[in-house]
Amino acid sequence: MSHLLAPEALSELLEWLGDAQQFSHLLPSTSSRQHIMRDFQRELPLPFFASQRLVLADGRVVLDLLVSKDSASLACGPWLPEQLDGCRITRRHDIKAPRIAILGSGLAGCNLAHALASRGARVSVFERSALAHTGASGNRQGALYIKPALAWSRENRLHVLSYQFAHRFYQRQFGRESHSEAGPRPPWQHCGVLHLAQNERERARMSQLHQQAVYPERFIRSLSFRDAARLAGADLDCPAAAMPQGGTLEPAKLCEHLLAAHDIQVLTHQSVQTGDWDAVVWAGGHPQAGDELAPTHLPLRPIRGQISSVCIAADNTLSMAQMPNQVLSGDGYVMPPLLNTDSTVWLTFGASYAVNRSDRGISEEEMSDNSRQLARTLPELAAQLDSTGISREERAAIRCASTDYMPVVGNARIPHGRNSASQNHSLAETLCQEGRLWYMTAFGSKGLALAPLLAEQLACAILAEPTPLEPDLAEGIDPDRWARRAALKGYSPSTGGTG
């Protein structure tokens, strides 16, 4: 979905950008300028006050638009040049290719590998399993979505900015111009998301969002249950809020695409054994026993999620007519159907959310809960599926979250807990003390929304480029934030006070 500036505003802003001395130096040719102007119109985000990053000219130029808190009201209006505090233009330059090891081949690791390799780094991805993308990133389908909050908190701001950046990233990678109709189906389907108000609390929250005009309608729009049903292409019995920038992805295919785009080495059933790297990044899910480089000293917790998928013949017109054409997100979620090459479709729904559980066995109870959620959202479809002979698959995976609900992304500067004066340092302690150990984890259930922007953030930090996040957001995701809080309060982070 593209949002264009009014012609006069676009012309004024582009003229202002073009007159900047550093901009003319970066793109002196007319063809380059035309290229970046076209990309600028396509990439233009909604005008929330924040620093928003645009990637232009096939990644050669990065433009950060800076908007102050004083311009908060512009979220309900168009972009205008005078509303900008300024912009920062960065051209990616040739670098002495550093050697970087990434532990983990899921969404975090693959997005980071792509961001680093596109800048010229030599990247090796290590996966302890025999196959890549087998954790939560191996789910059949996932959704690009967030749940916007009423308060413009640090967590909400990170989610909103990441969501917009992710939408633009997936459009660049898999947009209509990049793939022909005859080619393989891209992993990204820009179908939109409907947040269903299936209880009184959610209806009240959506009413407040609408009445207070917290967000522009191009970002999220309130709908009656009739309008929601019309947009979803399915029978719904509750009002909803539409988020048109959302959609579905096939996470494993996305990971494969990101790794294949550059000369990235993937090593399965292996882990980093030596410190012969310019940087080592732990980008796994919840740490397991034996993960020497994992952030086991941080207050992270596992979250178990089990999803259900049913396989239906594409010529089953009754069932197909009941399936949604958008992601439905309420007490659970229901994905649009996923077409297979054998004329069948998969319908995926769920998912359970069990905090502090790390078992991966299939639960009959959670399977039943998923079925009840489907029946609550789409009762006619659920009844049709119950009366039809179908095959069903269940999959359980473990997500990782922090106790303050913010991701963990940045340099690990605090030793792992042993006596730093000791000469017998582990590999983790050695890398940490030398500033070469980094973390990228704890995305919870928002990996598809958070990973692209946070990969950009960490890649820039590792390579000493200007980073996209504002300082308070960078501090909010820094791995050492608990140690800093503990120091201020006078206790050890290992003894408590993890919030």
Tens-level pLDDT at each residue, the chain (499 residues): 223 344 444 445 555 554 444 445 555 455 566 777 778 778 877 767 678 888 887 777 787 877 655 444 444 444 555 556 666 767 666 667 899 999 999 999 999 999 999 999 999 999 988 778 777 788 999 999 999 998 889 999 999 999 999 999 999 999 754 444 555 678 999 999 999 999 999 999 999 988 888 888 889 999 999 999 999 999 999 999 999 999 999 999 999 999 998 889 999 988 888 878 999 999 999 988 778 899 998 999 999 999 999 998 878 877 788 899 999 999 899 999 998 877 889 999 999 999 999 999 999 999 999 999 999 999 999 988 877 667 899 999 999 999 999 999 999 976 544 444 445 568 888 898 899 999 999 999 999 999 999 999 999 999 999 999 999 999 999 999 998 888 888 765 554 444 4
For residues 251 and 232, give the distance between their C-alpha atoms in angstroms, rounded to a whole number. Answer: 23
Rounded CA gap, 205 and 211, in Å? Answer: 10
Residue length, the chain?
Answer: 499
Cβ atoms within 10 Å of 138's Cβ, excluding its own? 17
Take residue 93 and report the two structure tokens written for it.
Answer: 């330059």
Q: How far apart are CA 406 and CA 344, in angstroms?
A: 39
Nearest to residue 105, comparing CAs of 305, 249, 300, 265? Answer: 265
> What's the Cα-to-Cα distance from 153 to each of 338, 397, 447, 476, rounded to whole Å?
35, 29, 19, 11
64 near 40, Cβ under 8 Å? no
Predicted TM-score (pTM) above 0.95: no
The DSSP annotation for 393-411 comes to: EEEEEEEEEETTS--EEEE
- Model confidence pLDDT, tens digit, residues 402-454: 999 999 999 997 654 444 444 556 888 889 889 999 999 999 999 999 999 99
**Contact between 83 and 97 (Cβ < 8 Å):** no
pLDDT reported for residue 355? 95
The contacts of residue 320 (CB under 8 Å, 6+ apart) are 312, 314, 337, 345
Rounded Cα distance, 459 and 59, in Å? 13
Angle at CA of residue 109, ends 104 and 110, nearest 5°: 120
Residue 370 β-bridge partners: none
Backbone angles phi, psi at 121, to 5 degrees: -75, 150
> Cβ–Cβ contacts within 10 Å for residue 23, how many?
20
Burial (CB count <10 Å: 0-12, 13-18, 19+), residue 401: buried
User: 113, 258 in Cβ contact below 8 A?
Assistant: yes
